[in-house]
Chain A
Amino acid sequence: MPTGDQLAQYIFSGLTTGSIYALIALGFCIIHNATGIVNFTQVDFITLGGMMMYTFLLAMGLPLPLAFLLGVLAVTVVGGLVERLAIRPAKSRSIIVLIFITIGVSILMRGIFKIIWGKNQMALPPFSGDTPLMILRAAVLPQSLWIFCITVVVVIILHLFFNHSLIGKAMRATSFNPRAAALMGVNVNRMILLSFALSGALGAIAGIIIVPITTLSYDIGVMLGLKGFAAAILGGYGNSIGAIIGGLLLGVLESLGAGTISSSYKDVLAFVILLLVLFIKPSGLLGHGEKERV
């Protein structure tokens, strides 16, 4: 049995990675709500965020806040480009074809990353030193606090955006019923474009804040992204509160499992949990299930 101190330690580190999963899961949800698809380029938005940060911060020597903003902005633009160049021109609206277009773009993007940044592992410095702070007798890296705080801020901003801004409301209307939204004068195509840009921004933020405690390479986003997808499914796909809960839960359970059972099977645990939840509740924790239409 782990001691109380260890337990606190596991929970803190679980909440840290869980926040990242939550951000990524939100990105998956936003695009799912706008288009009904799983956007696998989300995985590469994470990597690209980290890579852009590396370039702006270390290669160009810009100050941290500016590098952060420019990094997020760059991936936001790339997110929009993915929609504009690969999703919108598609001749088929079939979900599986669109999903595989995003997989194709994902392979293409990783190919480009390899050319630009090479295959070597890189590292980014933490935002504010690496002397652990003691919180509730658990050693917490300052970067973990950054991750946690930035996630909270992002979630609050998203909440305000979707509930109190006209564009946010239009995006929600589109996700409920694109046809009705279009009849009300909402430019549905623009909303889909925006959702790709927005999830690009979310992926970038996740990548930028996690890289200082992991390493950076052209495929760093793959496992993180898939866990984010798992978190979104766990919470109930398309449900943003579910995505946050799913992310945090997955992070904490994974961390507890790695600490108490086996660290080499850490990734297995995350997906076993996911499968068990789905077998018991096929629509995820907060999902209503996908309705069958005749």
Chain B
Amino acid sequence: MVQGFLKGKSSFGLSILALMVLLFPWVISNPYYLNVVNIIGLNTLVVVGLNLLIGYAGQISLGHAAFYGLGAYLSGILTVSYGVSPWLAMILALAVTGLLALIIGIPTLKLHGHYLVMATLGFNIIINIVIIQWDKVTGGPSGFPGIPNLKIGSLVFDSDWKMYYLIWFFTFIGIVLALNLVHSRVGRGLRALHGSEVAACALGVKTEVYKVKVFVLSALYASLAGSLYAHYLTFISPKTFDIFFSVELVTMVIVGGMGSIWGTLFGTFFITPLPNILHFFDEYKDIFYGLILVLILIFLPEGVVVALRNRYLSRRQGISQTSFHGES
């Protein structure tokens, strides 16, 4: 019964989301806002994948900006330097990033806790420095220009609103896939893994295999978003893919709520434009950004959406749900 309820709720939520996505450009036509919403869409794609890893498999990665960057740079280099068509480049980028995630993931996911945080962080730093230093191939610190737009037949995705539909199409598919995964046997296995790895293992969940699979899946989400980013902006630079972006991605997961796919949307919609909004405060923007982050984490640690949902549920059922998420 619970299963059916969740599925019903998901499809309701998805319809609302689809409707909002379709209508948005008719309501807001300012290209600047469209651009921000496009970036939010790309971030959502990365963060949905990352949330599967953090929220469901319980593994923290501070290296996902590297996969995002790999997708972007592979797409850029393959199309510009090797004349590969953009769609094929995107698929090749997915294959290479996925393979790399598999190679990195197998030894890395044997690590626990802070060792895993450091390993993924180290991986991100390595990829970032290689992008900066290997300037013959990557363009170095000044970036990589001239990446072609995506096209289907004669339709070229060369404007903000054309890319808007393409990006949100992929993001929507990404969300649907993630929700399906979460509500499947694999999803239950993952949640068991989050609860207790040993218990999950004892119940026959192949924890090692699951962790690596989700890691690779989340890297694929990031790579896809990176390729779209490269073909959208046609210019990429290493700064976009540094460890600070990895930190920001995990922040979006936490603020939205770990393990809440819908929370992810809130997290990305809230955090992505924050630097732009805070730009108004000029040189004080870092202070406000840090302060907002700290205050949310101190007072709403389970994520804003999850906190609100728990409050709503507990009021409806007359029992406190917070104890499930509290200190136990």
Contact = CB atoms under 8 A, between A and B. Distances in A.
Contact of A93 (B119, B196, B284, B327): B327
B287 interface: yes
Interface stretch (A105-113, A153-161, A174-182, A194-202): A105-113
Given A100-B254, A294-B199, A271 B114 contact: no
A77 interface: no
A274 B118 contact: yes
Interface in B110-132: 110-115, 117-119, 121-123, 125-126, 129-130
Contacts of B327: 92-93
B326 to A, nearest CB: 8
Contacts of A114: 283, 286
The contact size tier of chain B is 35 or more
Interface string A88-99: 011111111101
B285 interface: yes
Contacts of B121: 226, 229
Contacts of A89: 298
A9 B286 CA distance: 41
Contacts of B107: 278-279
A233 B290 contact: no
B184 interface: no
B297 A106 contact: no
B113 A108 contact: no
A107 B293 contact: yes
B25 interface: no
Interface string B288-323: 111101100111011000000000000000000000
A108 B291 CA distance: 6
Contacts of A96: 54, 60, 254, 258
Interface in B67-85: none
Contacts of A95: 113
Given A104-B294, A278-B111, A283-B115, A90 B125 contact: no
A97 B291 contact: no
B301 A94 contact: yes
A264 interface: yes
A237 B115 contact: yes
B251 interface: yes
Interface in B97-111: 107-108, 110-111
B247 interface: yes
Q: Which of A38, A97, A110 has the most CB of B within 10 A?
A: A97
Given A100-B254, A290-B112, A292-B198, A271 B122 contact: yes
Contacts of A237: 114-115
A15 B133 CA distance: 26
A233 B114 contact: yes
Contacts of B129: 265, 267-268
B287 A111 contact: yes
Nearest to A92: B301
A86 interface: yes
Contact of B301 (A97, A109, A282, A289): A97
A27 to B, nearest CB: 14
Contact of B118 (A93, A115, A233, A264): A233
B250 interface: yes
Interface of A: 32, 38, 86, 89-97, 99-101, 103-112, 114-115, 226, 229-230, 233, 237, 264-265, 267-268, 271-272, 274-275, 278-279, 282-284, 289-290, 292-294
29 contacts: A38-B114, A90-B301, A91-B298, A92-B327, A93-B327, A99-B117, A100-B250, A104-B291, A104-B294, A105-B290, A105-B294, A109-B290, A111-B284, A111-B288, A114-B286, A115-B283, A226-B125, A233-B115, A265-B130, A271-B123, A272-B126, A275-B123, A278-B107, A278-B111, A278-B118, A279-B108, A284-B115, A292-B198, A294-B198
Given A103-B293, A104-B290, 8 more contacts: A91-B298, A97-B301, A237-B114, A271-B122, A274-B119, A274-B122, A278-B111, A284-B115
Interface of B: 54, 60, 107-108, 110-115, 117-119, 121-123, 125-126, 129-130, 133, 196-199, 243, 247, 250-251, 254, 258, 283-291, 293-294, 297-299, 301-302, 327
